[in-house]
């Protein structure tokens, strides 16, 4: 690989992860890094995000002499979207594929929301490949009640999935009216345009979000949730033992098994209403005890 530094125009790359599947990534800054340089920073986005979530931050961090790598999780953006079971452990293995392919010995992890749980899984499973971890608004240990509340709260961000739109402009204008975005800028527009795919439907060109519903449904089921919230009690009734095991597995997070330095950043305000924070004060206090 040739050395390059291009903060404004990152280098796109595809990472093979087996079974003809790939992850799509972008590299900001100098790569490969020299032995005396800081470990590259790998950015891991949230549940319905993509690599564009971290583009503004990557452009700032690369000015500090860091190499930043953003990528689409499997099932999102331009990465492969197989119909399989999705989970934090699966994404942690994918991250190892990324490091192996790029010949990165150790990496710093910068994660948001779901990406925080993936970072914790990676730090636990591959401690020798983990340098430092920064968790942004995620990775907290939550009560059963708070978890259910969070699963219902994220429904707002799922409304755009599985729907067709007559034009990109229609999609963008509807997004501007959504309560998800408290403000609007070009970076948000770039993120939304990136997730749109062109399809042919009803004898005309249509546009839709390129995240399949089955990906998010599988992801949520691995945490005890579901794409449709009313499916949650049905899942519990149909298979209480399986769901008990899922909730129990997610109840205690592997903080004691993480040996890397961890920085936790709490959101400055709630999402839609007070009490729906993904990283409440009680979760911060648990972090401090570990």
Assigned CATH class of 11-157+250-289: alpha beta
Domain boundaries, the chain: 11-157+250-289
pLDDT at 39: 96
pLDDT at 4: 46
pLDDT at 273: 55
Does residue 65 sit in helix, strand or coil? coil
The per-residue pLDDT for range 127-172, each reduced to its tens digit, is 999 999 999 988 777 766 777 677 777 777 888 999 999 999 999 9
Nearest alpha carbon to residue 43 among 77, 4, 81: 77
The torsion defined by the Cα of 123, 124, 129 and 133, in degrees rounded to 10, comes to 10
Q: Cα 15 to the chain's mean position, in Å?
A: 17
Whether the model pTM is above 0.75: yes
Residues of the chain with pLDDT under 50: 1-2, 4-5
235, 227 Cβ separation under 8 angstroms:
no
pLDDT at 106: 97
Using omega within 30 degrees of 0 as the cis cutoff, is the peptide bond preceding 32 cis? yes
pLDDT at 144: 67
207, 218 Cβ separation under 8 angstroms:
no
pLDDT at 90: 97
220, 250 Cβ separation under 8 angstroms:
no
pLDDT at 84: 97
pLDDT at 275: 58
pLDDT at 278: 72
279, 267 Cβ separation under 8 angstroms:
yes
């Amino acid at each position: 690989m040739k050395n390059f530094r291009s903060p404004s125009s990152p280098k796109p790359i595809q990472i093979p992860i087996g079974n003809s599947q790939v992850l799509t990534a972008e590299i900001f800054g100098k790569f490969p890094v020299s032995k005396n340089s800081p470990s590259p920073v790998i950015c891991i986005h949230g549940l319905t995000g993509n690599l564009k979530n971290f583009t503004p931050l990557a452009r700032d961090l690369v000015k500090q002499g860091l190499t930043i790598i953003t990528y689409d999780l499997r099932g999102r953006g331009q990465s492969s979207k197989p119909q399989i079971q999705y989970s934090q452990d699966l994404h942690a293995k994918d991250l190892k594929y990324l490091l192996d392919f790029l010949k990165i010995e150790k990496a710093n992890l910068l994660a948001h929301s779901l990406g925080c749980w993936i970072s914790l899984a990676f730090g636990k499973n591959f401690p020798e490949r983990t340098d430092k971890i920064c968790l942004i608004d995620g990775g907290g240990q939550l009560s059963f009640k708070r978890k259910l509340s969070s699963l219902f709260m994220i429904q707002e961000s799922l409304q755009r999935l599985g729907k067709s739109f007559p034009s990109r402009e229609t999609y963008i204008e509807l997004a501007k009216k959504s309560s998800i975005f408290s403000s609007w800028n070009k970076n948000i527009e770039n993120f939304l345009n990136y997730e749109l795919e062109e399809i042919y439907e009803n004898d005309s060109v249509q546009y839709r979000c390129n995240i399949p519903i089955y990906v998010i449904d599988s992801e949520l089921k691995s945490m005890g949730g579901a794409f449709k919230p009313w499916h949650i009690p049905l899942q519990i009734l149909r298979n209480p033992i399986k769901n008990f095991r899922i909730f129990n597995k997610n109840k205690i997070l592997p903080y004691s098994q993480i040996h890397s330095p961890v920085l936790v950043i709490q959101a400055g305000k709630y999402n839609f209403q007070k009490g729906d924070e993904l990283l409440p004060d009680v979760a911060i206090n648990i972090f401090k005890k570990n």
